[in-house]
Amino acid sequence: MEMRKEYIAIDAGNTQLKIAHFLNGEITEIHRIIFSDLHVFVKNNAHIAQLPGIISSVLNRENTLKIISFFSNCIELSNETKLPFQNSYATPTTLGKDRICNAAFAFYENLNGNSVTIDIGTCIKLDVITQKNGYEGGSISPGIDLRYKSMNDFTDNLPLIENREQIDLIGTTTIESMHSGVINGIQSEINDLILRYTQKYDGLTFFVTGGDAKYFDFHSKNNIFAIENLTLRGLSHLFLFND
């Protein structure tokens, strides 16, 4: 009888915790909670809390240790965690854990080629993983909310807006113009980076993810794939590699 390998992967971000339950390498369910509700979740999901797994946290040390205390059978992703690929980043101790997870996903999903992950969330992160050098690095820029907020924070007359849907190129009001500048600006920024990466590396595959990825269109080519829960899937690969 085949053994059932059951474990969890926890991605503790700035706004919420995502707790994914895996069975034989596949996600069966994902719980999204805010940090203050963690104790309630653990109380109501004792079985999940007792499972082995892995935790990736960008929270401060105090809150990260609190998460670890609730999930005592989990290991913590850190700069000391063994990676299945070479890390060629010049400052590995500053490398974000989410970028490591994304790299792990791309490494395992494209073992015979070069990859770029495009993660569109609070920040927009592009990361390069090659067969020759492993994880090489990439770029970080502000996401949608940060761009809207900066225009409101650093001007006297521009409002704070929250529109996210795609918009025409030409804005006919100030709000539409701001909206076009942010959404179409991000689209153009990433399209240009895709082109430049393609010119630099042979046989690239692009993996697109992130909470705001749905507001953009990068899927007209057969080497660009939208992957839901990419970071959690990469975290799963890291757990299995270190288990």
* Cβ contacts of 173 within 8 Å, gap of 6 or more: none
Q: Closest Cα partner for 228 from 30, 56, 42, 34? A: 30
Task: Please identify which of the residues 98, 127, 145, 168 carries the catalytic annotation.
Answer: 98
Active site residue 98: yes
Helix (H, G, I), strand (E, B) or coil at 100: helix
Helix (H, G, I), strand (E, B) or coil at 48: helix
Spatial distance between the Cα atoms of 84 and 78, rounded to a whole number of angstroms? 14
**199 to 15, 37, 194, 204, 219: CA distances (angstroms):** 36, 47, 9, 9, 18
Enumerate the active-site residues.
98
